[in-house]
Amino acid sequence: MSSTDPTPSDSHLLGASDIRELAEAFGVKPTKQRGQNFVIDGNTVRRIVRAAEVTPEDAVVEVGPGLGSLTLALLEVARHVTAVEIDPLLAQHLPTTVAARMPEKAENFNLVLSDAMEVTELPGPAPTALVANLPYNVAVPVLLHMLATFPSIERTLVMVQSEVADRLAAKPGNKVYGVPSVKANWYADVKRAGAIGRNVFWPAPNVDSGLVSLIRREPPKTAASREEVFAVVDAAFAQRRKTLRAALAGWAGSPAAAEQALAAAGIDHRLRGEMLTVEQFAAIAEHKPVKDSE
């Protein structure tokens, strides 16, 4: 993958030989369990930074920095970068790599050793952007957790498995539209932002990757809480082949109660969840029947 844009010297970025040398020196062996595939192409990480529209005013949070390929490209532009890494071995060495390759930016970098799903606060300035090469197996829950936990994040660009990218960016009526699509839309306007081939990774994954852009917006105006809305979403797609009347029967208490809630929300009970917008799910949540035992 190449770029014709004028770019600074690549000397501080990590190429294929750099990645392999660092991995060998640190005793790092990429594991499928943690979805570790390291980017080995400088043009690709710079492309990600450009697509994320990172500016010198941004404080960026990166999840899963690995050996630091994207981290270094982010530090070229951003005011501050905080990386969240779950692997103790990788976390131990990343600050050293940053200091060695970009010493002038070392003070603009923080490393948090943690599972991203357990992070509730970050050092440094509040993050304005999330940019990450997310492990395929946890991409969606990590993305949703970060958006929920850090409302200061205005822009997000994540690299995920191509199939996951399609799901996140899908619109109602699309066959892959589902829980990730609706929940991501609660927080942001979501769209595909490009494709990434397998050859820019080491080791090369067995699937293609895609970029997804999320621009924060206000959630739907509703009297229901996010948790209440998401409960409806989960119920609707747990049996996605069923009509909403049937799929929401457990949530509402009975098929008749589900039909009543749907009617109150102005939604045809014969539809399936894949046809509804996040705003319509919010309307349903507002009309959840009150059970006698409640």
Instruction: List, for residues 127-156, the tens digit of each pLDDT value.
Output: 999 999 998 789 999 999 999 999 999 999
Report the mean per-residue pLDDT for the chain.
93
| 53 in a known ligand binding site | no
The annotation status of 87 as a binding-site residue, yes or no, is no
Instruction: Specify the pLDDT at position 30.
Output: 74
Per-residue b/e over 127-146, b at no fewer than 16 CB within 10 Å?
A: bbbbbbbbbbebbbebbbbb
Q: Identify the weakest region by mean pLDDT among 27-31, 144-148, 167-171, 184-188.
A: 27-31
Q: Residue 210, annotated ligand binder?
A: no
Can you give the pLDDT at residue 34?
Answer: 57
| pLDDT reported for residue 294 | 43
Residue 185, C-beta contacts closer than 8 angstroms, at least 6 positions apart? 277, 278
Predicted confidence (pLDDT) per residue in 105-118, tens digit? 999 999 999 999 99
Q: What is the pLDDT of residues 195-236, one digit of tens each?
A: 999 999 988 888 899 999 999 999 999 999 999 999 999 999
Percent of the chain at pLDDT above 70?
94
Residue 290 marked in a binding site:
no
Q: Can you tell me the distance from the alpha carbon of 253 to that of 245, in angstroms, rounded to the nearest whole number?
A: 11
Residue 3 has a CB neighbour count (10 Å cut-off) of 12
Number of neighbours of residue 120 by Cβ within 10 angstroms: 8
Is 278 annotated among the ligand-binding residues? no
- What local confidence, expressed as pLDDT, does residue 206 receive? 87
Q: Judging by DSSP bridges, how do beta strands 155-161 and 209-216 pair with one another?
A: antiparallel
Q: Binding residue per annotation — 85?
A: yes
Tokens of 122: 């970050």
Q: What is the pTM of this model?
A: 0.91
Asked if residue 261 lies in contact with residue 250, where contact means CB atoms within 8 angstroms, the answer is no
